Structure 1
Amino acid sequence: MRARITGVATYLPQRTMTSAEVERRIEGYVPHRGVIERLTGIRSRYVADDDQQASDLAAEAARKLDGHADADLLIFASASQDMVEPATAHIVAAKLGLSCPVFDVKNACNSVLNGIQVAEALILTGAHHRVLVCSGEVPSRAVRWQVRDHSQFVDSFAGYTLSDSGAAVLVSADAERGIFYRDFSAESTAWAIGTLPGGGTAHPRDPEYSYFRGDGRRLKEAFELAGPDVFLNALKRTGLRWDDFAVVAVHQVAMPYLDHLATVLGIPEDRLVVSLPEHGNCASATLPLQLALGEWEPGDRVALLGLGGGISTGVMLAEM
C-alpha cells in the first residue's frame, strides 16, 4: 500500500498588490522605489479581504477537490491560523461540513509538506484512508506598514514578499503508486533568524511583536550552511535524475536564491515551475500552487523541495 496525492487545488484571493503599491503604502520611512522587485523578482502578490480568515482560504481550496467530503481525517497545515485555540482544522471542518477527526500541523513554509508526510504515515499504518491536507496563509495581517527607519524596513522586509493563498491536497491509499521517497532535516539553532513572535507565551499581548521580523541575508546563509544534501541524496538513493520528473516544485522566496539553488542542485529550467514573480511567497501553499500550475499527468513523477523558517528542509518524491 502507498499513499498517493489524488488531488491538488488552490485558492487565490481576488485582490492583488504590486511591489510598487507595497512601497507606496509604507509610511514613515520611504524605501527606494523598485527595491522590492529588484531584490526579490516579485512583481505581484495576493491579498485576502479583511473579513477572510485562514480557514476561509483553506476551505475555498478544499471545495475544489472531488472527494474532499469523503476524507476520514483533516489536517490543517499552515504557518497562519485563525486563533491560538482551538485548532484551525476544527474551523475548516465546520465550514466544509465534515465530521472526521482533525488536527493542526505547523512548521512555517514546510507545513503542507509535513502535513502530507503525516498523512502518508497514517495511511501506511491503516489508521486512515483518505486525508485532506489544507492550508490557509494570510501573512498580510502581519506586515508592518508604519516603518521608523531603514533598519526597521530591513527587519520587516520578509513581510513585503509574502502572499495570501489557500491550498488543499487530498492524499489517498493506493495499491499501485504514490509517494515513494521522503526525507527531512532541521537546523534548529537558527530559529531566531526569522520570526513572528507575538501570540505565544513569549509575547502574548504586545502588538510590537505582531509583525514579521527577519534577516534575509542570515537566513540565506543558514540554508546554504545546511547544504543541499537532503535534496541530492534523494537522487542518489533512488537512482533518479531531475529529468525523470515532470515537475520539480521548489519553495520560492526570492528569484536570486531560486536561481542559486537550481544551479547548485542542477535542476533543469524546464522542470521548474516559477511561481514567485506573479504570486509572491505563498508560504506553505507554494508547493501545492506549483503542482496546480505545473504540467503533469497521472503516473508522472513529481518532486517537492521544501524550505522553511526554523530552519528546516524537506524533500518528497511521488508518482501522481
Structure 2
Amino acid sequence: MTGQGGVSAVVTGIGHYLPDQVMTTRDVVNRVNERSGRTVVSPRVIHMFSGVEERRYAPPGTTSSELAARAGQAAMAAAGVDPTDIDLLLFAAVTQDVIEPATANIVQERLGCWNAAVFDVKNACNSFVNALDVAAAKIKLGQCRRVLVTTGEVASIHVAWQIRETDEIGLKLPALTVGDAGGAFVVEAGPAPGVLPGVFRSDGREWRRSVILSGGTLKPHDGDHFTMDCDGSRLHELGVERVPAVVGEVLEGAGWTTDDVKLVVPHQTSVQTIEMLRVKLGFAPEQVMVTVDRLGNTGAASIPVALSLAVTEGRAGPGDKILLVGGAAGFGVSVIPLVLPG
C-alpha cells in the first residue's frame, strides 16, 4: 500500500550497537549460584531451555537512550543522512531512561535531531516493529518524510541474581537469557514497495505471563518486583500456536510465497521456539536469521539488530523480501513484510 501521491516508506538505513562485555551462560550461572548461596541452575538447563551461549551486558550506568543513540548514528550513517534531516524520531523499547519525559527526548538530545518531533512507542518486545508501522503510516499520510526509529535495551538490570526459593526458578530463568543492545532504522519517503502493510494481534488476557511489576502505578516503589518474572513455557506455546496464522495472513496480503522471502527475522526468544516456528511455517534454515545463541534475548532490539547483522554478514541486501516476525508479552504478535531498496 502506498500513500499520497504513490509514496511508500522505505528503510534506507539500518544500524545496531552491541556493548563490549560478553557474558557466557556459564558466567551468568556462576553469578546466580554464588549470590544465591547454593546451586540453583546449571548451564545445561539454560542451553536446553533457550540455546543461549552468550549475551552482551552494558556497563553499569548505561542508559537505554545511549544504546539507542549509538544505533541511530549507525543507521543515519548507512542512510547518508544528517541528524537535522530527521523530522520524526521514535524510541521503542521495553526499558527506558525515565518514566517522564519520553526517552525519545533524551535520544534527540544525544543525536542532535533538532528538527524532529519525538515520542515513545511502547509494547514490550513488539515495540520496535510497532514503531516501524507508525513511521510507515505517518510517511504514507504525508506527515513526515524521514523517520529515525530507535531502540535501546538494558535488560540486564532486570535479572534476578539471587534466587531465594526453589519454586521461583521457573519464573526467573528466562531473564538469565537476556542481553543488552541497540538498534535503529532510517525510514524515508520513496518508491514502492518498501514497508508493506503488517498484521498485528493481541490478547490481553495473557498479560500476567511475563511481567516487571515495579515502577508503574500497580507497584510503584516495590523493589522486590523490579526483576522479570516470565512463564517462558506458556509464551512458547502461545507463539507456536498463534504466530503462524498471522504470518500466513501477511504473506497472502503481500502476494508472497515462502519461497519469495529471502530472510525471516524473528524476535529472538529461544533457538527452540524459532526452529519450531520455522518448521511449522515451511521455511528453509537459511531463510531464518538466528542471533539468540550469541546475543541472547535483547527485547525490542532483537529484530533490528538481527536484520542489521544480516545485512553486514551478506545474508540480506538490495531488493530482498524480508519478513519481520515479532512476539511479545501481553500477549501480542506483530508481523511486517518489507523490501530492502535496491
User: What SS does the corresponding residue of 1:92 show, helix, strand or coil?
Assistant: helix
AA at the equivalent of 2:10:
R
2:49 matched to 1:39? yes
| Separation in 2, partners of 1:278, 1:223 | 21
Mapping of residues 169-208 of structure 1, within 5 Å:
169-208=185-224
The structure whose residues are more often strand, as a share, is 1
**Which residue number in structure 2 is paired with residue 307 of structure 1?**
327
Of residues 289, 293, 296 in structure 1, which corresponds to 2:316? 296
**Which residue number in structure 2 is paired with residue 11 of structure 1?**
17
Aligned-residue offset at 1:286: 1.0
Of residues 220, 229, 233 in structure 1, which corresponds to 2:245? 229
2:138 matched to 1:138? no
| Separation in 1, partners of 2:251, 2:60 | 44
Mapping of residues 52-63 of structure 1, within 5 Å:
52-63=62-73
- Per the normalisation by structure 2, the TM-score is 0.91
Any stretches of 5+ residues in structure 1 without a counterpart?
none
AA at the equivalent of 1:220:
H
**Which residue number in structure 1 is paired with residue 169 of structure 2?**
153
Aligned-residue offset at 1:214: 1.3
| Separation in 1, partners of 2:299, 2:113 | 26
| Separation in 2, partners of 1:277, 1:23 | 16
| Separation in 2, partners of 1:76, 1:58 | 8
Of residues 97, 109, 118 in structure 1, which corresponds to 2:134? 118
Aligned-residue offset at 1:68: 5.0
Aligned-residue offset at 1:87: 0.4
Any stretches of 5+ residues in structure 2 without a counterpart?
1-6
Whether contact under 8 Å (1:3, 1:179) holds in the other structure is yes
Aligned-residue offset at 1:136: 0.4
| Separation in 1, partners of 2:21, 2:302 | 18
Aligned-residue offset at 1:30: 1.5
Aligned-residue offset at 1:290: 1.6
Aligned length: 320
How well do the aligned residues superpose, as a CA RMSD in angstroms? 1.3
- Per the normalisation by structure 1, the TM-score is 0.97
2:114 matched to 1:108? no
| Separation in 2, partners of 1:306, 1:140 | 21
**Which residue number in structure 2 is paired with residue 79 of structure 1?**
94
| Separation in 2, partners of 1:241, 1:225 | 20
